[in-house]
Structure 1
């Protein structure tokens, strides 16, 4: 077995750190923090709570990123010193500790590198996620609810603020669809790789003969619109319907017509919202989601035009992007990246970091290859 090369491992860690620091642009990051601190200290900041929350959230994220960079640089220096002392004193315990620390530093740098790959136009934004049951009847509705829980648990594990905005319950079990908003820096950049068709294979708990069932659910992820996006939706292009909000099994949540359904006539996009008690609040929330979807639609149309000019680009996003197999074996596998795990319960409990990180790297590689082919 080859002897562990401490100098090489530390050199690789330092090179990786330098690459990340260059991509982040530390000087620009410090300037951004200074500017955000000025905005946060401005009198009357909280006169506009939504803007104030955006400023403080961005400031916190930028400060956290700078702290992680400084900490990583210090840890590399410290472990290099530890190796030198361990060798001078022939202390095997110190060298073992240094080797473990190098492994931890390498893993931390890999996570930091992922952040540098989130450079899309809307990656920094909050996300609006919709989960819909597909083919598979009651199993599909149950699967959609499993995915909803999975994403909410993922948000909980990371301390992301997630709010369910609308849920349409299925008659027997599960949900027809659900929409939730995730407020966190780079929420869209991370969760956007989850968009697509998800497939579940299992012994159906709803089949009294215990047969294996395949069901599908669709996940849609859009960035939350901002005031600067200029997505104008004329009143003549929408139809607004109001109705009583409902809960599981058709149970009435209230007796007022507070729930809102907005249909965008030119595209056929339908958005429903019933989380808020007020019809006005639900309409505002529904319009925000509609604008988010129209923003993505506009972006996709622009990308399609570029694609037509550039010709066919291989390895585009497919409809079926991940399979969850619970029978006859346990496996969750992403069909784009090849990333897989047999820890199916952990995945359904929100352990998605491996899949999301692999998806971000995969997407970045597709963009790089597409740019080379243009």
Structure 2
């Protein structure tokens, strides 16, 4: 077995971490932290709750980011000292411990490096995710619900907040569509690489002859907007429809017309919300989604740009970006990055970080090619 070149491993990690520190600009981040801490200390901060939440939220994010980087730097310094002492004393157990720590550090540094690739205009925003069933009947609506569970489980694993805006249940199994928000910094930049058509191949639980079926679902990701974002929607361009909220199987769960559907007449964009108890609350939430989707359209001056932002999701043959094969073998494969795994159940349980990181790197390479 070849001897481990600890000095080379540590040097590589140090080079990567130094690059990350420069990209993140830690002194600038610390200066912003100091400024935000002064604002938090102001006695009138909570007079404006919206601004207070923005300030405290931004402060928490920056502090966590700085602590994360500084923590990795401290651990790298410690492992370097451990290696030096272990080599001087000829302690193989301590060297094995150092090797394990270096492996852990490499994984953490590589994950942080992916974050530095998120430099788009809206990458640091929270995300609004819409999943729609495509071709495939009951299998497709069931697959759409499987994807919804996959993304919510992913968010739960990372302790990210989730807010369901609207779910349209299918008459048979699963859902026709679902729109929900992931409440976390950089959720949009992270999940935007998930936009596109997803394809499932399995033995259909809805086919009494047990035949293998293929179904599709579309995933669309847009950023949550702030009040300062420029997107004006004249009232006369919006049609408002109200209806009663419904649950699985079409059973009424509300005795008033509280659910709201907004249609932007010029573009035909339609959004719905039935999560809140009142019509006014649902309308406000629907406007959040509509503004986000219209900004995506506004920013896409050419069709190619629109396809990139919204994923050009048709949910049919020929345009899928990821395959989930459960029969005759087990494999989830991203057709853009070629990343794949045979642990399909883990993926459907929300373990998709490797796919996301590969997608972010692929996108950056495509942009710089």
TM-score strictly above 0.5 = yes
Which residue is equivalent to 1:311?
none
Please give the alpha-carbon distance, in whole angstroms, between the structure 2 residues aligned to 1:357 and 1:34.
31
Please give the alpha-carbon distance, in whole angstroms, between the structure 1 residues aligned to 2:166 and 2:220.
14
Deviations 1:337-357 (A, max 9, x none): 111111111111110100011
Please give the alpha-carbon distance, in whole angstroms, between the structure 2 residues aligned to 1:91 and 1:140.
58
Deviations 1:44-66 (A, max 9, x none): 32233333222222211111111
Unpaired stretches in structure 2, ≥5 consecutive residues = none
Q: Secondary structure at the match of 1:207?
A: coil
Query: How many angstroms does 1:39 deviate by?
Result: 2.4
Which residue is equivalent to 1:253?
253
Unpaired stretches in structure 1, ≥5 consecutive residues = 308-315, 370-374
Please give the alpha-carbon distance, in whole angstroms, between the structure 2 residues aligned to 1:11 and 1:24.
20
2:300, 2:306 within 8 Å by CA — same for their partners in 1? Answer: no
Give yes or no for the alignment of 1:81 onto 2:99.
no
Deviations 1:283-322 (A, max 9, x none): 1111110000001111122685899xxxxxxxx9993110
2:297, 2:306 within 8 Å by CA — same for their partners in 1? Answer: no
Map 1:1-374 → 2, pairs under 5 A: 1-301=1-301, 304=304, 319-369=319-369
Instruction: Answer with 28-37 or 15-24: which moved more.
Output: 28-37
Deviations 1:196-242 (A, max 9, x none): 00000000000000000000000010001111112111111111000
Please give the alpha-carbon distance, in whole angstroms, between the structure 2 residues aligned to 1:305 and 1:189.
16
Deviations 1:217-269 (A, max 9, x none): 00010001111112111111111000111111111111111000100111000
Q: Secondary structure at the match of 1:229?
A: coil
Q: Secondary structure at the match of 2:301?
A: helix
Change in Cα spacing, 1:126 to 1:306, as seen in structure 2 (3 Å) is closer
Please give the alpha-carbon distance, in whole angstroms, between the structure 2 residues aligned to 1:168 and 1:86.
61
2:10, 2:80 within 8 Å by CA — same for their partners in 1? Answer: yes
Instruction: Answer with 18-27 or 31-40: which moved more.
Output: 31-40
Change in Cα spacing, 1:130 to 1:266, as seen in structure 2 (3 Å) is same
Q: Secondary structure at the match of 1:351?
A: coil
Please give the alpha-carbon distance, in whole angstroms, between the structure 1 residues aligned to 2:322 and 2:362.
14
Please give the alpha-carbon distance, in whole angstroms, between the structure 1 residues aligned to 2:352 and 2:58.
24
Change in Cα spacing, 1:18 to 1:129, as seen in structure 2 (3 Å) is same
Change in Cα spacing, 1:244 to 1:164, as seen in structure 2 (3 Å) is same
